[in-house]
Structure 1
Amino acid sequence: MSTLAIIIPYYKIDFFEKTIQSVALQTNKNFVLYIGNDKSPHDPLPIINKYFADEDFHYFNYEKNVGGKNLALQWERILGNVKEDWFQILGDDDVIPENFIEECYKSITDCEDKNIKVIKFTHDWIDENDSLIQSHNLNTKTISSVDLILRKHQGLVYSSLSENIFKTSQFRKYKFEKIPLAWGSDDLAILRFSDYGNIYYNMSANVLVRVFSGSISGSVEMQKDKELAFIRYLERLIINHSLFFPKPFIDKLIDDYLMFCHLNKQTANYGIAKTVLRNQGFESFLKTIKKIYYINILGKNKKV
């Protein structure tokens, strides 16, 4: 029985053949492929059948689009069918190298021995012409999931979804946090699915993540949406995960969050004040409650 599932949430056909071809070219074929069509206007089956026989993949042609509401809903819809112990969510325009599955199994063996539940690979950003934008290599065998997020917020490292392998039992336990555009949902999953522990880092296979105008990451038109989604990501990080981070880091996140809400006329969550109470005491808690109240009142008045 295969231990690893590759999940492709499909919607865009632009680079889908390159994605499917990279999966078909794996030197180790011991994986199960799941493809979920999120009511795309373009039928992917002619491309899939070019590289895989019907019995070699599971295909779900959904009648309702949910990725437009939240990408994590599409991920979870497909994951409901997965029986394998580990899984990758591969973007429908991203590419894995030929030795990816082979390296996954090497990593899984080590992870099972060390009780590590998340694997991350090196990755490159590429554009629509397959040209390299930027390489990302942490140059370490393991890294704390908390340290990864700290370093990402400092602009020292970059992370995306496709280069991660997650343990299925951890997903079933926690699920993905639903943030608009799933912006940061993968980062919060890394924290929670790892139980805030170590990530196994594989430097022997390099995932190619496509960043271009048609992707969320590369879209200029969606910049405002991404900024608003980032506010909600900060909210979740502060409220649900702050206990595992240094207090000065969380205090700065709270200041950033409240400022973002104010500048973007967004409702601030009163739950933030509970973290302030724990970190800074009752006086600061009262000041934060007052600040959130005025942010929300001013935001409502400006929207009218």
Structure 2
Amino acid sequence: MLAIIIPFYKLDFFEDTLLSLSDQTNKKFTVYIGDDASPHDPITLLEKYEGKINFIYHRFESNLGSISLTKQWERSIALSNNERWIMLLGDDDVLSNNVVEEFYNFIQYNKDAELIRFNLKVIDENGKSTSKDFNHSVHETSEILLDQMLLMKETITASEFIFSRDVYNLNHGFVEFPLAWFSDYATWLIYGKNKGIFYIKRATVYWRLSSNNISSVVSNQKNIQLKINSLFLFLYFLQTNFDIEKKRLKDYTESQLINFFGNISDFVKIRILRKELLKFKYRSADIIIIKFIFERIKRKKLKNLWKYLFRT
């Protein structure tokens, strides 16, 4: 059996998610909804889908997602009843109506698979697709998935994967980084390392990128610093588990730093990076940070920079 886990917090597009589940051509699944002490009450909406979806709803007394998103995922999975297969679905994401059917068709002939991935499309607030199709082989290694991550040419999320409970338990849940940034990346790489990733191309998961999505929220300085912390923890994870050319890691790191910082001033970038400098086990982290800083101050007056960095 399949357990579809929804760590619930936002109500905005939740009905679209429930509707896509009620429209599945194969209903052999149970939905477990872990309400992360949301300020939005989904009970009235859920009542509309009683009898249409087999679901179990539980409201947690305290919010955990703001402290550790991966722990919220894990306690929501703990609501399930030991089904062999698990899917972690966002509360604003949508499935094509044949996802469950194609999943069961697939495992009928691939019983030893541990990690399965569906075709993914990114949609906006109106449900309009904003991404291009990305072509994959039927079966790929974690190293190939890692290549795609480092190239940054496709969107990779938590919602388009189904994984076995065995591989989940064997790896003690999800890899945890601050804000869960890169946590799903690291987790899929580990889950797929033994038997690879199998792709189902005839069904699609629609991942919603909206103004309420954590990926689209403009970050404050604290969140930027947490993301940078996660980035270097992820790079240390990659360095420990995979053999990657140093230049590729360096280029990827610099691209991510540019994305994180956006249009904030160079002085603020440097102030944030100064706090992270020499904090990481990841070899070359200090070199990359120093190079990143140097390239942005070489035309600045060092006297003013010194005053800015070390002001009381």
Same fold per superposition (TM over 0.5): yes
The one-letter amino acid of 2:246's match is: P
Give 1 or 2: higher helix fraction. 1
> Are positions 1:95 and 2:109 aligned together?
no
- C-alpha contact 1:122 1:207 (8 A) present in aligned 2: yes
- Quickly say closer, same or farther: Cα 1:214–1:259, change in 2 above 3 A: closer
The one-letter amino acid of 2:165's match is: T
Deviation readout 1:209-263 (Å, 9 max, x if unpaired): 11111111222x2375664444233322332232413233565269749978856
Secondary structure in structure 2 of the residue aligned to 1:65: coil
The one-letter amino acid of 2:59's match is: N
Shift of 1:37: 0.6
**Which is further off, 43-52 or 200-209?**
43-52
- Quickly say closer, same or farther: Cα 1:111–1:241, change in 2 above 3 A: farther
Deviation readout 1:2-28 (Å, 9 max, x if unpaired): 2x1100111100010110111111111
- Quickly say closer, same or farther: Cα 1:254–1:89, change in 2 above 3 A: closer
What 5-or-longer segments of structure 1 have no aligned partner? Answer: 277-284
The match for 2:165 is 168
**Which is further off, 69-78 or 133-142?**
133-142
2:154 and 2:142 map into 1 onto residues whose CA distance is 12
- Quickly say closer, same or farther: Cα 1:167–1:258, change in 2 above 3 A: closer
- Quickly say closer, same or farther: Cα 1:160–1:259, change in 2 above 3 A: closer
> Are positions 1:213 and 2:211 aligned together?
yes
Question: Paired residue for 2:28, among 30, 36, 42?
Answer: 30
Superposed CA RMSD in Å reads 3.3
- C-alpha contact 2:182 2:234 (8 A) present in aligned 1: no
1:177 and 1:200 map into 2 onto residues whose CA distance is 21
Secondary structure in structure 1 of the residue aligned to 2:74: helix
- The runs of at least 4 consecutive aligned structure 1 residues that moved more than 6 Å come to 257-261
Aligned length: 284
What 5-or-longer segments of structure 2 have no aligned partner? Answer: 259-268, 295-305
> Are positions 1:272 and 2:282 aligned together?
yes
1:196 and 1:246 map into 2 onto residues whose CA distance is 18
The one-letter amino acid of 1:5's match is: A
The match for 1:108 is 107
The match for 1:231 is 228
- Quickly say closer, same or farther: Cα 1:197–1:136, change in 2 above 3 A: farther
Shift of 1:139: 3.4
Shift of 1:141: 0.8
The match for 1:194 is 192
Shift of 1:179: 2.1
Deviation readout 1:7-66 (Å, 9 max, x if unpaired): 011110001011011111111111111001111111112212211249922211101001
- C-alpha contact 1:183 1:226 (8 A) present in aligned 2: no
Q: Tell me the percent identity.
A: 30
What is the TM-score normalised by the length of structure 2?
0.79
- C-alpha contact 1:7 1:35 (8 A) present in aligned 2: yes
The one-letter amino acid of 2:272's match is: N
- Quickly say closer, same or farther: Cα 1:186–1:132, change in 2 above 3 A: same
The match for 1:155 is 152
- Quickly say closer, same or farther: Cα 1:145–1:302, change in 2 above 3 A: farther
The match for 2:303 is none
